[in-house]
Structure 1
């Protein structure tokens, strides 16, 4: 299964553009993963999203309210720990175990639940396995030893250049084992080989197009399905 991820910060919270991207992605992909670093509450937007996976940062003060709201729609919900850059000081200081509290509430709803495992692999393992959730990890990080359906987040470009690499420096800087080896964290479609694709055959493959134009989005599908 194939998906495309969109970060609202990268489209400057342009919700009309989000709906346009969602319309196109939902025609060609199984999922559209929407990474809302801050709150997405506009009902006129939410009710028009198709095949969407909405992110809830468990460390946010309003995480339970967000969970309840998103659960009222036909969305999958992805529960993650939370990016410190988008959290208040109080939120950032919440214990990691808060993600389990949020997950316990999440499974009371009918929605399919994904769990972002980065930083909580060991903490969330038993809960994910017991409740048959989807473990969602980042390309370049170790495939977590969790017996579950897997999804993998893969940033990609058609061809890497210095400008693109510079635009991803904050993302790469957050990866523990990054030492200039960008090829281990970002896929260049130009250099992708069939054997690289085979290791993801049982995954939901979530491509994050660093360049957000629709042609580049379709290139991802063509590369993975046309192998």
Structure 2
């Protein structure tokens, strides 16, 4: 299964643009993962999204309210620990165990639940396995030793250049084992080989197009489906 991820910060919270991307992605992909670093609450937007996976940062003060809101729609919900850059000081100081509290609430709803495992692999393992959730990890990080359906987040470009690499500096800097080896964390479609694709044949493959144009989005599908 194939998906495309969109970060609202990268489209400057242009919700009309989000709906346009969602319309195109939902025609060609199984999922559209929307990484809302801040809350996405506009009901006119939410009710028009198709095949969406909405992100809830468990360390946010309003994470339980967001769960309740998103659960009222036909969305999958992805619970992650939370990016400190988008958290208040108080939120950032919450214990990692808060993600389990949020997950316990999440499974009371009918929605399918994904779990971002980066930083909480061991903490969340038993809960994910017991409740048959989807473990969602980042390309370049170790495939977590969790018996579950897997999804992998893969940032990609058609061809890497210095400007694109600079634009991903913060992302790469957050990866624990990054030492200038960008090729281990970002896929260049030009350099992708069949043996690379085979590693993820049982995964939901979530491509994050660093360049957000629709042609680049379709290139990801064509590469992974061999068309």
Instruction: State the TM-score, normalizing by the size of structure 1.
Output: 1.00
What SS is found at the alignment partner of 2:3?
strand
Displacement of 1:176 in angstroms is 0.4
Identify the residue that residue 97 of structure 1 maps to in structure 2: 97
Distance 1:174 1:101 in 2: 25
Structure 1, residues 72-121: CA drift from partner, whole Å, max 9, x if none? 00000000000000000000000000000000000000000000000000
Distance 2:173 2:206 in 1: 21
Displacement of 1:35 in angstroms is 0.1
Displacement of 1:51 in angstroms is 0.0
Distance 2:21 2:35 in 1: 13
What SS is found at the alignment partner of 2:105?
helix
Number of equivalences? 227
Displacement of 1:178 in angstroms is 0.4
Displacement of 1:131 in angstroms is 0.1
Structure 1, residues 100-158: CA drift from partner, whole Å, max 9, x if none? 00000000000000000000000000000000000000000000000000000000000
Displacement of 1:190 in angstroms is 0.2
Structure 1 residue runs of 4+, over 3 Å off?
A: none
Distance 1:58 1:195 in 2: 35
Identify the residue that residue 128 of structure 2 maps to in structure 1: 128
Identify the residue that residue 83 of structure 2 maps to in structure 1: 83
Displacement of 1:5 in angstroms is 0.0
Displacement of 1:172 in angstroms is 0.3
Matches within 5 A, 1:1-227: 1-226=1-226
Displacement of 1:193 in angstroms is 0.2
Structure 1, residues 46-93: CA drift from partner, whole Å, max 9, x if none? 000000000000000000000000000000000000000000000000
Distance 2:60 2:165 in 1: 30
Structure 1, residues 152-210: CA drift from partner, whole Å, max 9, x if none? 00000000000000000000000000000000000000000000000000000000000
Displacement of 1:225 in angstroms is 0.2
